[in-house]
Amino acid sequence: MRNTWIICRRELSSYFASPIAWLLLAMYSIIFGWIFWNFLAEFIKQGLDMEMMGQMQPMNVNEQVIRPLLGTCSFLGLFVIPLISMRLFAEEKRNGTIELLATSPVRDVEIILGKWFAATLLYCWIIIFACINFVFLFRYGNPDWKPLLITLLGVFLQGAALLAIGTFISTLTKNQIIAAAMTFGACLLLWVFSWVSSYDSSTWAQVLSYMSVITHFDTFDRGVLSTKDAIYYLSVIFLGLFFTARSMESLRWRS
């Protein structure tokens, strides 16, 4: 555990020492802010329209602003995650620093967990930073914070799962660009698998749809804490890290 923390800390500091963390933080905040502003403007316009027409339909900040916003959040993750995870092992392999880690009195599991933790923490940090926008909703409105937190948990879980896959892919190559491209492809594929459910209901379609990360995000998105879907994400994380461990082992046997 101590070693995991040592490695995690170094990873985090190297994220912030290179421009990548700051760049992602800035880009994400700008895009998130823009989307937030758009949803909010539309919400306000709708409210004003209805007031002018004298209709009094119930309006809900949670449903009309927060939910679509966090839905977009999980979508934006597709682009951010490959950029976070690409360097984890690929850079070490290129620079030869992997030789230091692999010959230090540290278990492979500790190395992998440390790196994955660092990536997940950075991702959480990016999201939380963007979520500062919500302060305005709480200041001027009265949203329900419980579904908000649950949806955020969904975003984190989804990110952590995709990062575990990205970590695995990063062990396969020395080239960060290839790692990023492959991770992006894998994330996108896991995303669009869910589309099959709209026209097909065979067993295969159900399996594919179950594999999709977005299927399991729906319940979190609705503000429902579902153990079943949480377990899906946890098992993807486990599987991703398990494959990473196997890949590192094969690195030792082959290289």
Partner 1 sequence: MITVTDLTKRYARTTAVDHISFSVNKGDIVGFLGPNGAGKTTTMRMLTCFFPPTEGKATVAGFDVFEQPLEVRKRIGYLPETPPLYLEMETIEYLRFVGRLKGLSGTHLENRVAFVLDRCAIADVKTRLLSKLSKGYRQRVGLAQAIIHNPDVLILDEPTAGLDPKQINETRDLIKSLAGDHTIILSTHILPEVEQTCQSVLIINKGKLVATDSVHNLQARARGAESMLVNVGVRSGEFPSAAVQARLQRIPGVSGTALKEEFQSGAIFEVESKKGQLVRGDLARAVVEAGWDLNELRPSAMSLEEIFLQLTGSDAATASTAAAEAAPPSEPPASTEAPAPEANA
Token pair for 123: 């991702």
User: Closest distance between partner 1 and the C-beta of residue 15, in Å?
Assistant: 10
Q: How many CA atoms lie within 13 A of 48 on its CB side?
A: 6
Q: How far apart are CA 6 and CA 105, in angstroms?
A: 13
Contact between residue 87 and residue 170 where contact means Cβ atoms under 8 Å apart? yes
Nearer to partner 1, 239 or 251 (CB): 251
Token pair for 160: 């952590």
User: Closest distance between partner 1 and the C-beta of residue 103, in Å?
Assistant: 4
Q: How far apart are CA 82 and CA 87, in angstroms?
A: 9
User: Closest distance between partner 1 and the C-beta of residue 126, in Å?
Assistant: 19
Contact between residue 3 and residue 112 where contact means Cβ atoms under 8 Å apart? no
User: Closest distance between partner 1 and the C-beta of residue 124, in Å?
Assistant: 22
Q: How far apart are CA 31 and CA 34, in angstroms?
A: 5
With tokens 């990023």, the residue in question is 180
User: Closest distance between partner 1 and the C-beta of residue 99, in Å?
Assistant: 5
User: Closest distance between partner 1 and the C-beta of residue 23, in Å?
Assistant: 14
Nearer to partner 1, 104 or 201 (CB): 104
Nearer to partner 1, 27 or 106 (CB): 106
Token pair for 168: 């695995």
Nearer to partner 1, 67 or 87 (CB): 87
What is the amino acid identity at position 18?
S
Q: How far apart are CA 106 and CA 99, in angstroms?
A: 12
User: Closest distance between partner 1 and the C-beta of residue 12, in Å?
Assistant: 12
Q: Which residues make up the interface to partner 1 (CB under 8 A)?
A: 3, 6-7, 10, 13-14, 17-18, 95-107, 252-255
Q: How far apart are CA 209 and CA 134, in angstroms?
A: 32
Contact between residue 29 and residue 136 where contact means Cβ atoms under 8 Å apart? no
Q: Which helix (H) or strand (E) holds 95?
A: helix 87-95
Nearer to partner 1, 54 or 96 (CB): 96
Nearer to partner 1, 107 or 146 (CB): 107
Nearer to partner 1, 91 or 229 (CB): 91
